[in-house]
């Protein structure tokens, strides 16, 4: 293809992006216009994909980490033949359109992940590359490479300035993710202007230090240089590659290119007209000349690529029928056929054991029980495996020399761990978990939020859940964290009171296909709670009656985690005094809230207004359940440094104080 023709193809991206941002009267035209030449070369010469089947399992993954430049993605999808029409481009940033302000998973066919929070896209891509490499090691044979694709990433200076890019890139180099290829849009401009005033890192040296192959000094507007750089990247299979592309932001805009004025605002009608004039673009807004549209179409090429793969895969199925069936099950996200039967039996065993243990250890017990049933399980910890018990009996670490494993040593990289876990889940073929102390959920928070936003079933193993952590003090004692996690839409939060509830929480987390789960787990031992068969079945409803001293209670105690035992002790005292009291264990408020009105009324009858909630976390959250006539035994301050038993007494988590609070309601 001649450079002239390539220029015309790239200009289609520039004009479509400028038109859409102008029509929406908001958006970011600079990045799409500046990266158009890179995108044209990558998508037309290298990217293996099928517009007719955006979910083809062996497609290359394309991630735009600098997601504010979303019109670049939408232009590429429209031009190459995905179900993204000109009308969809006209509706850029409008309500319920296929073209939201930032790329969002589930809205637009061909969009692999939701990006926008800078740096998370590159971390997602690291997860995708881990998944590809590990899945290939597990399922490929010498004769059939059923998993064999690349992950390509566009990112800008903003992604590099965010610390998560350091965390993710460091791990990617350590693991030797050779099929991860990243393009740095080195245009020297961010929202506030020329970045030399606040970003002077030697980026190529930084990535070389991570163990990456670096291709420096590539002219991001020279197709031949870009082709050579990508070929060099693909030859290196033991290291990820950073291609450093020098570009002009907003290229094609006579008065605004190279400046921050085209970064995050429409060019203006007059400037868009000048862009069309400068680029020699005569077509009306949102129209692409037929010859350019035809040259862009990847429909035939994509269909052939998938057909060739399918032909090879059919041979694989004949040669390895059981392995192929397992691969297909995992890529569909289905649970094993005997899952329900076996997990029900395991739950009965856990209940019969009546073990007293910390719920962090109960979590490990659950992993050891469920792990053998889930060959797709992959997880890791942020350098805390010895404390949060994330390494189970059959854990095998993934390394640069051995991709065939199921455990990732993330190191002290909490934020990247959450976003990488999202990438693993997005790729498909795995169910993933990530462990750290609950207090460090703060470091992961935006990645956890993205799990919920994208409906990705990542399981977060969050231990040392309260002042029960003890002597490490308030810096490590989570107070507000459980409540704040409960506030994230579509995040399921479980704080189990014993090994039985822990197993149920893990089972439901493993069964989830549309939301993440946070498991809130204790450091200290918690006693087993005796349950009937009906109570055992009701755990999965999130809240259930654990104890009743009379058919109609006058008082309800609601508790989670370590405070369930306290509620039970208080209830026994009250029962001895002749009071009708009920204890409700509510390990998951979101599961309980999702139950029908009849069940919730059975558990928390509206006629009983005298209620006390107990949780060693921030008190304010619980007033939605206890109401104006109730009370909360909870935290209203940070903790202190002392042994756990002293702290629980000091902050009022003892029977005497609970009884005093109840009497205060009489």
Other CB atoms within 10 Å distance of the CB of residue 203:
17
Is residue 87 a known part of a binding site?
no
* Tokens describing residue 129: 């590359």
- Is 654 labeled as ligand-binding? no
Look at residues 32, 19, 102, 101 and name the one whose alpha carbon lies nearest to residue 263: 32
Q: Where do we find the tokens 């289609």?
A: 12
List the alpha helices (DSSP H) in 140-268: 157-161, 163-175, 203-210, 223-235
Distances 445 to 122, 419, 423, 484, 622 between C-alpha atoms, Å: 17, 10, 16, 10, 22
| Backbone angles phi and psi of 43, in degrees to 5 | -75, -30
Determine contact, residues 647/628, Cβ cutoff 8 Å: no
Both tokens of 102, joined, read: 């930032």
How many C-beta atoms lie closer than 10 Å to residue 38's C-beta? 24
Which tokens sit at 484?
């704040």
Q: Is 360 annotated as a binding residue?
A: yes
Q: Is residue 104 among the annotated active site residues?
A: no
Interhelix angle 563-576/655-665, nearest 10 degrees: 60
Q: Where do runs of H (alpha helix) occur along 108-267?
A: 120-139, 157-161, 163-175, 203-210, 223-235
Q: Does 28 carry a binding-site annotation?
A: yes
Distance CA 46, CA 183 (A): 14
187 is in an annotated binding site: yes
Beta-carbon contacts of 455 under 8 Å, excluding residues fewer than 6 positions away, are: 105, 106, 490, 514, 515
Strands 193-194 and 189-190: antiparallel
Q: Does 118 show up as a binding residue in the annotation?
A: yes
Distance between CA atoms of residues 77 and 99, nearest Å: 11
Determine if residue 204 is labeled as part of a ligand binding site.
no
555 strand-pairing partners = 581
SS3 94: coil
Residue 523 marked in a binding site:
yes
Q: Is 189 among the annotated ligand-binding positions?
A: yes
Spell 169-182 as b/e; 16+ CB within 10 A means b: bbbbbebbbbbbbb
Residue 117, annotated ligand binder? yes
Characterize the bridge pairing of strands 151-156 and 61-64: parallel
634 annotated binding-site participant: no
Q: Is 266 annotated as a binding residue?
A: no
Q: Binding site annotation covers 158?
A: yes
Q: Is there a binding annotation on residue 181?
A: no
For residue 181, report the phi and psi dihedrals to the nearest 5 degrees: -125, 120
Under 8 Å between Cβ of 275 and 253: yes
Q: Of these residues, 414, 501, 563, 615, which one is catalytic?
A: 414
- Tell me if 440 is assigned to a ligand binding site: yes
Task: Determine the Cα–Cα distance for residues 330 and 428; give it in Å rounded to an integer.
Answer: 7
Active site residues per annotation: 414
- Residues annotated in the binding site for thiamine diphosphate, as ranges? 68, 116-118, 158, 187, 263, 440
- Residues annotated in the binding site for Mg(2+), as ranges? 157, 187, 189
- Residues annotated in the binding site, as ranges? 28, 68, 116-118, 157-158, 187, 189, 263, 360, 387, 440, 464, 472, 476, 523
- Residues annotated in the binding site for substrate, as ranges? 28, 263, 360, 387, 464, 472, 476, 523
């Amino acid at each position: 293809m001649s450079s002239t023709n390539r220029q015309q193809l790239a200009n289609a991206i520039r004009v479509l992006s400028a038109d859409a941002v102008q029509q929406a009267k908001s958006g970011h035209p600079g990045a799409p216009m500046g990266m158009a030449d890179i995108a044209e070369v990558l998508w037309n010469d290298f990217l293996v994909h099928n517009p007719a089947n955006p979910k083809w399992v062996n497609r290359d993954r394309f991630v735009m980490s600098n997601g504010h430049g979303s019109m670049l993605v939408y232009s590429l999808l429209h031009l190459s033949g995905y179900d993204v029409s000109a009308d969809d481009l006209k509706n850029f940033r409008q309500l319920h359109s296929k073209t939201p302000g930032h790329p969002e998973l589930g809205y637009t066919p061909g969009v692999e992940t939701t990006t926008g929070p800078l740096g998370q896209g590159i971390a997602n891509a690291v997860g995708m590359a881990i998944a590809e490499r590990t899945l290939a090691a597990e399922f490929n044979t010498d004769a059939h490479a059923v998993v064999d694709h690349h992950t390509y990433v566009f990112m800008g200076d903003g992604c590099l300035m965010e610390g998560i890019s350091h965390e993710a890139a460091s791990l990617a180099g350590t693991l030797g993710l050779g099929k991860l290829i990243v393009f740095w849009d080195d245009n020297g401009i961010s929202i506030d202007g020329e970045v030399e005033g606040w970003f002077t890192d030697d980026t190529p040296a930084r990535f070389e230090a991570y163990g990456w192959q670096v291709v420096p000094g590539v002219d991001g507007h020279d197709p031949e240089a870009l082709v050579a750089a990508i070929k060099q990247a693909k030859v290196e299979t033991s290291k990820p590659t950073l291609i450093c592309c020098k570009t002009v932001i907003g290229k094609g805009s006579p008065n605004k290119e190279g400046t921050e004025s085209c970064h995050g605002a429409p060019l203006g009608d007059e400037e868009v007209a000048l862009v069309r004039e400068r680029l020699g673009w005569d077509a009306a807004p949102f129209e692409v000349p037929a010859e350019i549209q035809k040259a862009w179409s990847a429909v035939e090429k994509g269909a052939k690529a998938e057909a060739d793969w399918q032909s090879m895969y059919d041979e694989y199925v004949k040669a390895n029928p059981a392995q192929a069936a397992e691969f297909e099950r995992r890529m569909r996200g289905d649970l094993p056929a005997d899952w329900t039967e076996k997990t029900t039996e395991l739950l009965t065993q856990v209940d019969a054991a009546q073990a007293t243990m910390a719920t962090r250890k109960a979590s490990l017990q659950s992993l050891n029980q469920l792990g053998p049933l889930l060959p797709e399980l992959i997880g890791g910890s942020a350098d805390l495996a010895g404390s949060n018990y994330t390494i189970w009996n059959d854990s095998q670490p993934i390394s640069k020399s051995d991709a065939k494993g199921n455990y990732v040593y993330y190191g002290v990289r909490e934020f990247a761990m959450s976003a990488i876990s999202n990438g693993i889940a997005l790729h498909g073929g795995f169910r993933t978990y990530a462990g750290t102390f609950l207090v460090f959920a703060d470091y992961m928070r935006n990645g956890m939020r993205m799990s919920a936003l994208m409906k990705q079933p990542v399981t977060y193993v969050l231990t040392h859940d309260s002042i029960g952590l003890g002597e490490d003090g308030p810096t490590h004692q989570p107070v507000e964290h459980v409540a704040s996690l409960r506030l994230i839409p579509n995040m399921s939060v479980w704080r189990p009171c014993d090994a039985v509830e822990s197993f149920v929480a893990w089972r439901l987390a493993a069964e989830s296909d549309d939301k993440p789960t946070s498991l809130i787990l204790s450091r200290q031992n918690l006693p087993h709670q005796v349950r009937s068969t009906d109570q055992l079945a009701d755990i999965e409803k999130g809240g259930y009656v654990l104890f009743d001293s009379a058919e109609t209670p006058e008082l309800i105690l609601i508790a989670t985690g370590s405070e369930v035992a306290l509620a039970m002790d208080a209830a026994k005292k009250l029962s001895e005094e002749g009071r009708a009291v009920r204890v409700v264990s509510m390990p998951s408020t979101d599961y309980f809230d999702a139950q029908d009105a009849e069940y919730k009324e059975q558990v928390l009858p509206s006629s009983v207004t005298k209620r006390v909630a107990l949780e060693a976390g921030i008190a304010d959250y619980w007033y939605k359940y206890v109401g104006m006539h109730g009370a909360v035994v909870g935290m209203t301050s940070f903790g202190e440094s002392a042994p756990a038993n002293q702290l629980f007494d000091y902050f009022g988590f003892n029977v005497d104080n609970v009884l005093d609070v109840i009497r205060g309601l009489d």
